[in-house]
Amino acid sequence: MARIVVCGPEMAQFGAALARELDESLCQAMVERFPDGEMHVILPERVTDLDVTLVQSLLSPAGERLVELSLLADACRRARAARVTLFLPYLAYARQDRCTRRGEALGGEVVAGLVSLAGFDRIVAVDLHSDAALGWFRAPLQHLSVGPDLAEAVRSSLPASSVVVSPDLGGAKRAERVAKLLGKPLAIVHKTRGEREVIVHRVLGDVRGQAPLVVDDMISTGGTIAAAADALRQAGCVPPLTVLATHALLVGDAIDRLRAAQVACLVHSDSLPTRELPFPNVVVPLAPIVASALREEFPWNPK
């Protein structure tokens, strides 16, 4: 079946990269605005009877991107695409993965449900923050973890005496996989999150005299990384401090916090638009990884 990659304007660069990897044509949708702000989506290329890969990341503002995603999917369906696969590099609200008090919304499940309502035949997502997210979608889900790819990108530059660090207990399994791949010891920072700041209690594991590789799934404000860096220095870690994270949101004062934390290098994917940083960074492209996954046989649900 012939295939085509479809994307909106915000994902044009990523869509083009994925189309090149798959050796497929690219359809960049036209997203117009009415005077009241409503979006109007038009597909300028024919997708009838084609196997469509729709590329959309729920970057900020997530609500706008979610509506755009729904309109793009509807346009594909109305144009009678044979199948529509969603490639979702980043899922907003994924950190809202549990309720801690009565009357609290479970944001991650709600947003995943709204994505599912667009009627995709298959969803391919990247590092969804927690195992709970794997059950949120109402369509066949293929979940990709790019931690190993990020680890390989930094392997040759790591000092011989290095330790892989999870900045919290929740990410221990993620960091453990990287530690095994690199053949390095593992340490865990025990933290709690207060109303406005991250509070570190202790570092679990021997890190004295070792250079830390901090592994996380995403960096938002940089508060967790900054707190972990301070705790690791107090526990006897030595430079350089390398940080590995799939999703580099870097909102607010995040870049200043990472610089103040003396991050020597940030290794991340291009699940979100990349930018220039005041310290070295390595960007691992997702397009080759996703293209390989999309080429695999997939057990499609019968119509």
Contacts of 243 (CB under 8 A, 6+ apart): 213, 214, 216, 219, 225, 258, 263, 265, 266, 267
Q: Cα separation of 220 and 218, whole Å?
A: 6
Asked if 184 is an active-site residue, the reply is no
Catalytic residue, from 173, 180, 191, 303: name it. Answer: 191
Owner of token pair 């221990």: 172
Q: Are 231 and 212 in contact (CB under 8 A)?
A: no
Contacts of 35 (CB under 8 A, 6+ apart): none
Give the count of beta carbons closer than 10 Å to the beta carbon of residue 258: 24
Q: Cα separation of 168 and 97, whole Å?
A: 16
Q: Cα separation of 107 and 132, whole Å?
A: 12
Q: What is the dihedral of CA 282, 196, 190, 148, to 10 degrees?
A: -20
Q: Are 214 and 241 in contact (CB under 8 A)?
A: yes
Q: Cα separation of 250 and 7, whole Å?
A: 24
Q: Is the peptide bond before 240 cis (omega within 30 degrees of 0)?
A: yes
CA proximity to 40, closest of 87, 75, 78: 75
Q: What's the token pair of residue 242? A: 């390398």
What is the distance, to the nearest Å, from the Cα of residue 120 to the centroid of all Cα atoms in its chain?
Answer: 20
- Residues taking part in catalysis: 191
